[in-house]
């Protein structure tokens, strides 16, 4: 679906993307991670036809640079930094809906679902809203129209926990469609993705396809040891059907291999109480026992 071939981008002798090649299939849900300056946003801009670059960028065989309206009409985008638009919110929504041939009503409905009182903000200048309010509106615009690919550049940066949760609910409703999420926090987006691409200084340093690495039907046995009992952890791990001993310090259970990333994402929230984590393939364990 997406093909980036030998992409290089240089700003005044500073190479931001360095001969990068990447293929993203139509069933890939990609987390793009990396430190600041790794080249994530530049990669996204090249992908959306906003930058001139060396190499080839195509989405389903179409160049986003040369046929941008065709390509962009099927891409929902949320930028890392909300633009400082002075126009009122209703004007932004109606303009976006107008150029996307979409209905503003659905976008408005989504702003409400994200926890924003549309009637209160609709006449306010967009740049006067709080960071979270701006982000909710941009998310609503991106998700409130028919798109085939979502590109989200740090979409949760300004969102409160509730709005973040709603965003993930909205994204999980369209889990059958490809998504590219740039984020600093892998644990946060882990439940939504099946592929992790890490960038560093303009290159891809890790490309972890969860589905390739594990058998979809396989189970992984996990043993977790806590430093002290913790109610929140007990509730969260209970949802994974883990059981504990009487001390509630040791928890055991099995995780479906494709859920491994999401499971690790859950664990990362409780790093402070985790003493040890063991994960091993069930088949391997059974083979070991037979020997």
Partner 1 sequence: MNTMRLDFKGSQRQADETGLSANDLLLTARLDVAESLRAKWFLLYSLVFGGIITSLFIFGLADSRIMGFTGLSRMLVTYIQLSMAILPIFVLITTVRSLAGDREAGVFEYMLSLPVSLKAWYWGRFIGRFAVVFIPVFAAMLLGSLYGVLKGADLPWREFALYTGMLVSLAICFLGIGFLISSMTRATDIAQGAAFFIWLLLLLFLDLILLGLMIQEQAPTGLVVIIALLNPLQAFRAGAMMIFDPQLIMLGPSAYIILDNLGYAGYLAWALFYPALLGLVLGTLGYLIFRRGDLP
Using rule CB under 8 A, residue 177 touches partner 1: yes
Helices 131-143, 161-172: inter-axial angle, 10-degree rounding: 10
* Least distance between partner 1 and beta carbon 92 (Å): 9
How many whole angstroms separate alpha carbon 233 and alpha carbon 224?
11
Instruction: Please answer whether residues 143 and 167 qualify as being in contact, where contact means their C-beta atoms are separated by less than 8 angstroms.
Output: no
The reply on whether position 253 binds partner 1 by CB under 8 A is no
The residue assigned the tokens 């085939």 is 148
Q: x/- string (CB under 8 A) for partner 1, residues 74-113?
A: xx-x-x-xxxxxxx---x---xx-xxxxx-----------
37 binds partner 1 (CB under 8 A): no
Q: Is 50 helix (H, G, I), strand (E, B) or coil?
A: coil
C-alpha distances out from residue 85 to 14, 99, 106, 134, Å: 30, 17, 21, 10
| CA-closest candidate to residue 272, choices 223, 240, 233 | 233
CB 240 → partner 1: shortest distance, Å? 26
Bridge pairing between strands 219-226 and 250-256: antiparallel
Q: Which is nearer to partner 1, 52 or 246 (CB)?
A: 52
Closer of 44 and 224 to partner 1 (Cβ):
44
Crossing angle of helices 104-113 and 131-143, rounded to 10°:
130
**Of residues 99 and 225, the one with the C-beta less far from partner 1:** 99
By beta-carbon proximity to partner 1, the closer residue of 46 and 224 is 46
The residue (of 34 and 49) whose beta carbon lies closer to partner 1 is 49
| Rounded distance between C-alpha atoms, residue 130 and residue 149, angstroms | 27
* Closest distance to partner 1 from the beta carbon of 26 (Å): 5
12, 14, 36, 66: which one binds partner 1 (CB under 8 A)? 66
Closest Cα partner for 277 from 144, 240, 88, 286? 240
Residues 129-148 that bind partner 1 (CB under 8 A): 138, 146, 148
Nearer to partner 1, 138 or 224 (CB): 138
Q: Binding-site residue total for partner 1 (CB under 8 A)?
A: 48
- Site residues (vs partner 1, CB under 8 A): 1, 25-27, 45, 48-52, 59-60, 62, 66-75, 77, 79, 81-87, 91, 95-96, 98-102, 125, 138, 146, 148-149, 177-178, 211
């Amino acid at each position: 679906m997406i093909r980036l071939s030998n992409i290089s981008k240089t700003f005044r002798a500073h190479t931001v993307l360095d001969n990068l090649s990447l293929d993203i299939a139509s069933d890939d849900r990609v987390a793009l991670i990396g430190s600041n300056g790794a080249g994530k946003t530049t990669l996204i801009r090249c992908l959306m036809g906003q930058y001139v670059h060396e190499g080839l960028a195509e989405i389903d065989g179409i160049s986003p640079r040369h046929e941008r309206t065709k390509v962009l009409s099927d891409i929902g985008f949320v930028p890392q930094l909300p633009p400082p638009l002075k126009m009122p919110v209703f004007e932004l929504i109606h303009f976006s809906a107008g150029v996307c041939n979409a209905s503003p009503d659905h976008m408005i409905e989504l702003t409400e679902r994200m926890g924003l009182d549309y009637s209160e903000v609709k006449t306010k200048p967009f740049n006067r809203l709080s960071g979270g309010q701006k982000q909710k509106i941009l998310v609503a615009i991106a998700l409130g129209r028919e798109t085939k690919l979502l590109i989200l550049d740090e979409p949760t940066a300004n969102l409160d926990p509730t709005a973040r949760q709603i965003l993930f609910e909205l994204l999980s409703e369209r889990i059958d469609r490809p998504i590219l999420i740039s984020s600093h926090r892998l644990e946060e987006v882990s439940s939504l993705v099946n592929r992790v691409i890490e960038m560093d200084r303009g290159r891809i340093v890790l490309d972890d396809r969860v589905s390739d690495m594990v058998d979809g039907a396989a189970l992984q046995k996990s043993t977790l040891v806590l430093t002290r009992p913790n109610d929140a952890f007990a509730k969260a791990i209970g949802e994974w059907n883990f059981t504990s001993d009487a001390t509630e310090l040791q928890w055991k259970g099995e995780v479906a291999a494709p859920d491994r990333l999401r499971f690790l994402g859950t664990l990362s929230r409780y790093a402070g109480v985790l003493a040890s984590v063991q994960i091993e393939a069930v088949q391997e364990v059974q083979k070991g026992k037979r020997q």
